[in-house]
Amino acid sequence: MKKVSVSSLLAQKKANQKITALTAYDASFAKLFDEQGIDILLIGDSLGMVLQGEETTLPVTIEQMAYHTRCVSKSVQTALVMADMPFMSYATPAQAYDNAAKLMSAGAQMVKLEGGEWLLETIQGLVQRSVPVCGHLGLTPQSVNVFGGFKVQGREEEKAQKLIDDAIALEKAGIQLLVLECVPTSLGQKVSAKLSIPVIGIGAGSHTDGQILVMHDMLGISANYMPKFSKNYLIECGDIRQAVCQYKEEVRNGIFPSSAHSFE
C-alpha cells in the first residue's frame, strides 16, 4: 500500500472516497490499525482520559504527547500520523512553533490544534515553517470548562454560521485537514461542502469526508461511558482485527455513522 499523505487524502475527498481514522497511543495498536488499512492515526490528548483516568484532556503535557507519538510512529508504515497539541501548548505562536517541533521530531507528520479565528496567525506561521496543520472545530474538548461540559455545538443558527466562517478562515490560513466534533448532521454536511480540504467527523453525521473514533470507544473498553456518536465494534466481531476492518468498511460504505450515532 502507498503511504497516505495530505495529497492522497485530498484525492479521496475529490473522488468521494471516505477517509478512516482512529486514535492510537502505542506501537502495538498502531501497527494493527495500520495493517488493516486505516488512513489516519491520531495520537490524541484523549490519552489523558482513556489511559490516565483523568476527567478531561487538560492535564496532558507536551512531553507525554511526544512520548506516545514516538511509540506510534515507530510501527506505522502507511497511515498518516497526526498528533494533538495539548492544552496551552500553543497559547502564542512562538510557543506553538517550539511544541510542534517536539511532536514532529517524535514522528508526527501533522499536528492538530483546537480553535477558530484566534489561531490564524499561529497556523500561518506553522505552515510557513513546514508544519502541516489539522484544525478542530465544534466540541473542542480543551474548552470543556468554557462550554460547561461535553455538549453538542452549533445548534443555534448564529453559532452554526460562526463555525462555518471559522472553518473557511482556517482553510485560508493553511490547514490541510479539519476535525469536526459533535455538531448537527446538517452542519457537518455544510462545512464539508464549503471546504476544499477533507473534513473528518466525530459525531458530525455521515456527510463529512471521513470519520474518526477513539480506539477505546470503538472497542468498547472505555472506562467511563460510550459516547452517542461511537459504536462498539468489538462486541459484534469478537476479534480486534475484524472489528477494525468492519469499522473501516462501514465508514467507506456510508453505513457508519447512522442516525443513531448522529445529532439532529
Question: Residue 235's pLDDT is what?
Answer: 93
**Could you tell me whether strands 199-202 and 80-84 are parallel, antiparallel, or unpaired per DSSP bridges?**
unpaired
Catalytic residue numbers read 181
Helix (H) or strand (E) holding 110: strand 110-114
Cα Rg of the chain, angstroms: 17
The CA distance from 178 to 195, in Å, is: 9
The CA distance from 137 to 114, in Å, is: 6
Please say whether the beta carbons of 204 and 187 come within 8 A: yes
Domain 6-261 has CATH 3.20.20.60: yes
- Give first-to-last CA distance, the chain, whole Å: 37
pLDDT band at 1 (very low <50, low <70, confident <90, very high): confident
Question: Residue 133's pLDDT is what?
Answer: 98
Taken in order 220, 226, 232, 235, is the CA torsion positive or negative?
A: positive
Q: pTM of this prediction?
A: 0.97
The CA distance from 197 to 188, in Å, is: 14
The CA distance from 37 to 20, in Å, is: 9
Ligand-binding annotation for 114, yes or no, is: yes
Tell me the mean pLDDT in the region 28-53: 97
What residue type is 243 in one-letter code? Answer: A
Ligand-binding annotation for 45, yes or no, is: yes
Ligand-binding annotation for 165, yes or no, is: no
Q: Which of 138, 251, 227, 254 is nearest to 187 (CA)?
A: 138
The CA distance from 121 to 5, in Å, is: 24
Q: How many CB atoms lie within 10 A of CB 23?
A: 28
pLDDT band at 161 (very low <50, low <70, confident <90, very high): very high
Ligand-binding annotation for 171, yes or no, is: no
pLDDT band at 222 (very low <50, low <70, confident <90, very high): confident
Would you state the cell numbers that stand for residue 247, as one nine-digit string? 469499522
Give domain limits for the chain.
Answer: 6-261
User: Which residues pair with residue 137 across a beta bridge?
Assistant: 180
The secondary structure of residue 4, as a DSSP letter, is P
Chain centroid to CA 137: how far? Answer: 10
pLDDT band at 150 (very low <50, low <70, confident <90, very high): confident
Tell me the mean pLDDT in the region 84-96: 98
pLDDT band at 225 (very low <50, low <70, confident <90, very high): confident
Please say whether the beta carbons of 45 and 60 come within 8 A: yes
Ligand-binding annotation for 46, yes or no, is: yes
What residue type is 175 in one-letter code? Answer: I
